[in-house]
Structure 1
Amino acid sequence: MAMAAEKSTCSRLLVAAIDFGTTYSGYAFSFRDKPNDIHTNPNWVAGSEKLVSLKCPSTVLLKPNKTFHSFGFEAENKYSDLAEDDEHHGWYLFRRFKLTLYETTNLKLDTPIEDISGKNMPAFDIFAHSISFLKNHLWKTLQSRVCGILETDIQYVITVPAIWDPRAKQFMRRAAYKAGIPNEQISFALEPEAASLWCQVETDDKLSSLSEPLTKYMVVDLGGGTADITVHQKMDDGSLKEIQKASGGAWGGNEVDKSYLQLLENIVQAEAMDKFKREEMTDYFDLLREFETKKRSITRDNEGKITFKLPQSLCKLAELDGVKMATKIERLHDKSKYRWTGDKLRIEKVAAKTLFAPPLEMLINHVKKMFEQPEIQNIDAILLVGGFSECDLVTEAFEQSFPDKRLLIPKEAGLAVLKGAVRFGHHLDAIKTRISRFTIGREIWPEFEKHHNPAKKIKVDEKERCKDIVKQMIKIGDEIPVNMTHEERLMPVSANQKASAIKLYSSTSRNVTYTTELGCQELGMLAIDLPQSRSISDKKITSYYYFGDTEIHVRVKIAKTNEEFEKWIDCF
């Protein structure tokens, strides 16, 4: 596969991708003349555990005055040092907060998130600090390697889950802008699409079948926070076509960590665990890092035991009630699977594997339901990517549940999204069609008719109109070419209007009539200043909507002046 022969379509000198994940974050870049020669960020070192990684924890530390201090391993280690000296009070430490953008129903710029001690800050500020750190770290790396480079030479690509709604994506765009990245230098790559694009050029014989024309395959992107699933088909011209709308849920590797922490809490009791998290921060982070490493060694083999070394500080807190650790473990309902030896918890492999059950059961059940749909029943390949996909138990679950499917896992599956995002930045037209995840329409107030809801009747300039009507533009499940435009000619309802406000709504139903229906919510607004004129005909505008890209954007043309401009729908 002649990777280096590909030519970039990017107009800037290089593409840099920022993979801002729930658990870990990183960046990578490549230059326009060698788009597939991708450089990942330097190794991050944890410090206490000497863990070396190509990504660092998505952890932000703020000073008591709410200004930025550090990110990643440095943030965790600094907070631990402060806690050791009881000087951490007033500082803010935020971990694993990306899920806020998926789990919050009515996301706003001032939506709060809690730090490790329960203090609130606007999520927007924490996301902006994170992107700013990664951008600045990247910039220092580039300056040390390339002479004469300018910040305007960089096209940034930020990865986002495909299951995010437009509001969450715009939240990220605004955070990136606040972090110092101009809007015209920002693109978004949907995470499973990025991974799929990278696997098209991976020099791995097992993956070569994905590059065959008209090949169809399911992409399952398993990160720390979410599982992101879609279905692609390789086209004759080398592009990819989405043939199943993205779906998924919060079924990532973090759920395994939660199960482990819950097990420890069952042993030592909640009060001791809470005190351990608050007062023994260094040991707490060491415990999490040790489990991160150890859980990768939990394989499908049922024989033997897995050993977890618990910090002495946790054991002491647990035994303050006079009950020894060995006795506490004896109280577990399935005590035969656990044993206490010195300062180590020994768990039968069969029991250790149950820690993976919650996310894997939900994930497998969801994929099974997807394969019940006629349009993808004949697909025989599943591409597993993302950090969680490197786990042997994930492989086992898919092999047992889908024995008639070919399971494909690239080398360094955890970097597939990051490297693919760089490739996407060089080939923004690599995805030809996408499937709409929502029904999207514009709010209109037409003249009132008999079939309209009487409760929606209002009067405007002595005319009876019906408010809250949704004029549908695309429906959920529609196939949308990337370059498709939806054109509309609009006329204000009144000659006195000085501005026009286009309100877009999204719905989880295929057919929607009113904006007030269940599952319908305001997506955002587009404000347009109209020409100063007493004639309503002078205020005609034409709008061109682009729904096939990773974000919704609109081009507007004023009829009287022929002035054209592009705008983003304002979701906030």
Structure 2
Amino acid sequence: MDRTKLVVAFNIGEIYTGYTFSTTAQFNDDPMKINSISWHSQYNRMSEQTPSSIILNAEKGFQSFGFEAEDQYLLSCENNKDTNFYFFQHFLCQTNWFTEKNGEIYVNPLNRVGPVLLQTLIRHSVSYLKTHFLNEIQKSQIADDNILWVVVYPELDKFDVRLIFLEAFLNTGIDRDNILLVGESLAIQAFARYIEPSGNYETSGIQNKSTIILNCAKTQICPNISFQKHLQVATNVIGMSSVVDDIDSIMKKRIGCSIFTGLTDINSRCDVLCWLEIALEGSVFRQAHGSHVGIKIPSHLIEYMRKHVTRFSNDGFKLQFGVLRIEIAVIHEVFQNALSPLMDHLKREINIFNTGTIQNVILVGDFSKFIMTKTVFRESYPQFEIIVPSNSYMAATIGATLAGHEILSGKKHSRILYIPKMSIVGMLHIKQAALKSSSNFRTSINDKPAVKLSIDTGTTTNVSYLPDLIRPSKIATKLQDLYESDYADILEAIVGKGRDNSKSEEFLLQILHVAYDECRKQAHAQINTITQALHPTCGIDGIETSLPSDVVKPLIEYRRKNALQYLPRLIKSFVETLPNMVDISNAQLLDCTSFIEKSIECCWLMCVTEPPMFLKFEWNKSEQIDLDQLDIEGGDGRNVDSMRWPPLYLHENGPLMNKGVVNAK
């Protein structure tokens, strides 16, 4: 059996924590073929990163980490319970630190008196993350000494925490020679080398061009924003606080109401903030739909908002079918304010250099993922190409994984120039020639680790490739966008032509249901045909044809990666046969073309994931509505009257991805 080496990178950041990993075989095949883990929260949050928050019990022993810790704290707030645990939110933020005379660093908990050594918090966090990682890949039967553990350490202004991180990993039993420490800035440089466009300089004839990497970290743009702003808001959207505050302020000034008025429960607040963050990531910026961002509003807030805003409002906000639509002009104004400190810092740095030598600005960090961030930078600096790579918010973690592979392969030459992270934002300058070379990770504790690694390349579970855009979280966002934008617009158009509202809702739901069933049938038939054709006994009567899973899985993965190639013919075939399955006129077919095509796209991507994602259309009308899975758009009862939009699950009987929408009775 082939043996290979594994590199895993841990990044405990000021706001978020995560890890990524890949084998040397994956690195040699495609350096950006890097694996990540999906983290989940009971408040419908999911991400490739989890909050850097931790709870210690009354004896200051480990209790929970990440989403689990924040969920536990939020639940105690909601129930007004006295707690005997210590909750540390974003414990690497220096604003929570203080030092004793002996130089020891302590961190204050958020909920009670009783500081704890930073070293203790990091030790518990590292132990948890290591165990979590090994559990995720347990089928590969990996031993600790088969792994190179790359640790990203924060480059802080006043404190050097490298030794604390090193000791924490050593305490988990990892051999000293298998640990590599990499500073955040150098990890980001490694990331940049693999995403910087090649050939720009040779083809343009320009020499000695430079690229600037700008770290748009949420903690830098929105300093000291924590639970103090919204005491019962889960802080996976902590960096959105200034954006939310500004949008809320504009709403109050223009129309006299607030997004958060009446949102007393944690679920509702989390839902509103999470949908806002998802919307701002870019999928719902639609020039064809009035240039707006849509946020789904909880049903119990809709009546209040209708007193202030309607579907015909022209003051920057509209309420349409339970969705608050915010004009792009409002979002643009808000982001200009939020990004102002970062713009000023970039301007000062650029003035130090000859601007004629700068061609590209690469945006990384949490705030870089929002479409409006790139728009604002492009408007302010039209002379530069603004680049936002895929998964830019995880640049340091991905870069650390790449750095580990570079160390293993002996690529350690570099001419990269680095400017340390400043008080507002981190920033570094890279010569174009250096972007194509490898880094000299001189901040490593051990310059030449004696690594002896071997590992099976078996399939891991619950893992996705980071650069992959056909991921469950992306598909869930695409489906929600379909409901909030296309569904709402087409429903309004159909009703405007005199058709009954409830029958129109039923009509559009039927189209989605038929599309979903057709995609499931096609996906199953396709993979069944392929596996039968490849079986050695193909064509021999009386012999069942089935292939082992290790043969079928690569076929399924190949189909998933190339899923978009099959869409045009699938859509064409579906549109031609739809009148045979649904009572639809030619005029209605023309009106609904965009909705039909996007329904097929979403359903096809759901069905080619492994395991397939699941839409639930059937609900027992005698049972009380489960508000954790369904939102109520119409009616005031407790039972399902009719389904408007189905909930989406990661797989059948799996965790919820998107809530459904129903009318109640």
Moved more, 59-68 or 300-309: 300-309
Aligned partners of 1:219 and 1:382 also within 8 Å: yes
- SS of the aligned residue for 1:167 comes to coil
Question: Who is 1:25 aligned against?
Answer: 17
CA apart distance, 1:33: 5.2
CA apart distance, 1:178: 5.0
The separation in 2 between residues aligned to 1:41 and 1:427, in whole angstroms, is 19
The separation in 2 between residues aligned to 1:275 and 1:60, in whole angstroms, is 30
Write the deviation string for residues 388-445 of structure 1: whole angstroms up to 9, x where unpaired.
212111111221121111222322323333221111112242545555759xxxxxxx
More strand by share: 1
Matched to 1:97, the amino acid is: F
The separation in 2 between residues aligned to 1:209 and 1:282, in whole angstroms, is 48
CA apart distance, 1:256: 3.1
Q: Aligned ranges for residues 52-201 of structure 1 at < 5 Å?
A: 52-83=46-77, 85-87=79-81, 89-100=83-94, 109-115=104-110, 117=111, 119-122=113-116, 124=118, 125-145=120-140, 147=141, 149-162=142-155, 164=157, 167-177=160-170, 181=174, 183-201=176-194
CA apart distance, 1:263: 5.7
Identity over aligned pairs, percent: 20
Q: Aligned ranges for residues 401-416 of structure 1 at < 5 Å?
A: 401-416=380-395
Aligned partners of 1:187 and 1:425 also within 8 Å: yes
- Unaligned runs of 5+ residues in structure 2 are 226-235, 253-257, 422-428, 430-439, 448-665
Task: Label 1:275 to 1:255 Cα distance change in 2 as closer, same or farther (>3 A).
Answer: same
Task: Label 1:95 to 1:366 Cα distance change in 2 as closer, same or farther (>3 A).
Answer: same
Task: Label 1:15 to 1:358 Cα distance change in 2 as closer, same or farther (>3 A).
Answer: same
Task: Label 1:75 to 1:289 Cα distance change in 2 as closer, same or farther (>3 A).
Answer: farther
Matched to 1:198, the amino acid is: F
2:347 is equivalent to residue 355 of structure 1: no
CA apart distance, 1:16: 1.1
Aligned partners of 2:10 and 2:150 also within 8 Å: yes
Tell me the C-alpha RMSD between the 2 structures. 4.8
CA apart distance, 1:275: 12
Matched to 1:549, the amino acid is: R
2:360 is equivalent to residue 381 of structure 1: yes
CA apart distance, 1:369: 1.2
Matched to 1:20, the amino acid is: I
- SS of the aligned residue for 2:382 comes to coil
Write the deviation string for residues 238-279 of structure 1: whole angstroms up to 9, x where unpaired.
xxxxxxxxxx999998443234157659989xxx999999x8
Of 344, 347, 353 in structure 2, the residue corresponding to residue 365 of structure 1 is 344
- SS of the aligned residue for 1:398 comes to helix
Question: Who is 2:240 aligned against?
Answer: 256
The separation in 1 between residues aligned to 2:9 and 2:107, in whole angstroms, is 27
Task: Label 1:119 to 1:209 Cα distance change in 2 as closer, same or farther (>3 A).
Answer: farther
The separation in 1 between residues aligned to 2:171 and 2:57, in whole angstroms, is 19
Task: Label 1:275 to 1:294 Cα distance change in 2 as closer, same or farther (>3 A).
Answer: closer
The separation in 1 between residues aligned to 2:270 and 2:192, in whole angstroms, is 34
Task: Label 1:210 to 1:48 Cα distance change in 2 as closer, same or farther (>3 A).
Answer: farther
Question: Who is 2:642 aligned against?
Answer: none
Q: Aligned ranges for residues 383-402 of structure 1 at < 5 Å?
A: 383-402=362-381
Write the deviation string for residues 256-303 of structure 1: whole angstroms up to 9, x where unpaired.
3234157659989xxx999999x8444444444333323324759795
The separation in 1 between residues aligned to 2:351 and 2:247, in whole angstroms, is 35
- SS of the aligned residue for 1:362 comes to helix
More helix by share: 2
- SS of the aligned residue for 2:8 comes to strand
Of 373, 382, 405 in structure 2, the residue corresponding to residue 426 of structure 1 is 405
Matched to 1:31, the amino acid is: T
CA apart distance, 1:89: 2.4
- SS of the aligned residue for 2:108 comes to strand
Q: Aligned ranges for residues 211-222 of structure 1 at < 5 Å?
A: 216-222=210-216
Write the deviation string for residues 324-366 of structure 1: whole angstroms up to 9, x where unpaired.
777899xxxxx95457789875544323333323441111111
Write the deviation string for residues 14-36 of structure 1: whole angstroms up to 9, x where unpaired.
32101223333221122345545
Task: Label 1:358 to 1:190 Cα distance change in 2 as closer, same or farther (>3 A).
Answer: farther
CA apart distance, 1:367: 1.0
Q: Aligned ranges for residues 258-337 of structure 1 at < 5 Å?
A: 258-261=242-245, 264=248, 280-297=265-282, 299=285, 304-309=291-296, 336-337=315-316
The separation in 1 between residues aligned to 2:262 and 2:116, in whole angstroms, is 27
CA apart distance, 1:122: 2.4
- Unaligned runs of 5+ residues in structure 1 are 1-11, 228-247, 330-334, 439-476, 478-546, 555-572
- Give the alignment's TM-score, normalised by structure 1: 0.56
- SS of the aligned residue for 2:357 comes to coil
Task: Label 1:119 to 1:182 Cα distance change in 2 as closer, same or farther (>3 A).
Answer: farther
Aligned partners of 1:198 and 1:420 also within 8 Å: yes
Task: Label 1:262 to 1:394 Cα distance change in 2 as closer, same or farther (>3 A).
Answer: closer
- Give the alignment's TM-score, normalised by structure 2: 0.49
Write the deviation string for residues 450-472 of structure 1: whole angstroms up to 9, x where unpaired.
xxxxxxxxxxxxxxxxxxxxxxx
- SS of the aligned residue for 1:293 comes to helix
The separation in 1 between residues aligned to 2:336 and 2:237, in whole angstroms, is 11
The separation in 1 between residues aligned to 2:170 and 2:64, in whole angstroms, is 20
Question: Who is 2:443 aligned against?
Answer: 550
The separation in 1 between residues aligned to 2:49 and 2:17, in whole angstroms, is 5
Larger RCO (alpha carbons 8 Å, 6+ apart): 2
Matched to 1:155, the amino acid is: L
Task: Label 1:436 to 1:384 Cα distance change in 2 as closer, same or farther (>3 A).
Answer: closer
Moved more, 393-402 or 73-82: 73-82
Aligned partners of 1:198 and 1:423 also within 8 Å: yes
How many residues are aligned here? 396
Task: Label 1:433 to 1:16 Cα distance change in 2 as closer, same or farther (>3 A).
Answer: same
Task: Label 1:364 to 1:357 Cα distance change in 2 as closer, same or farther (>3 A).
Answer: same
Aligned partners of 2:91 and 2:107 also within 8 Å: no
- SS of the aligned residue for 1:134 comes to helix
- SS of the aligned residue for 1:404 comes to coil
The separation in 1 between residues aligned to 2:70 and 2:365, in whole angstroms, is 23
The separation in 1 between residues aligned to 2:291 and 2:7, in whole angstroms, is 47
CA apart distance, 1:154: 2.3
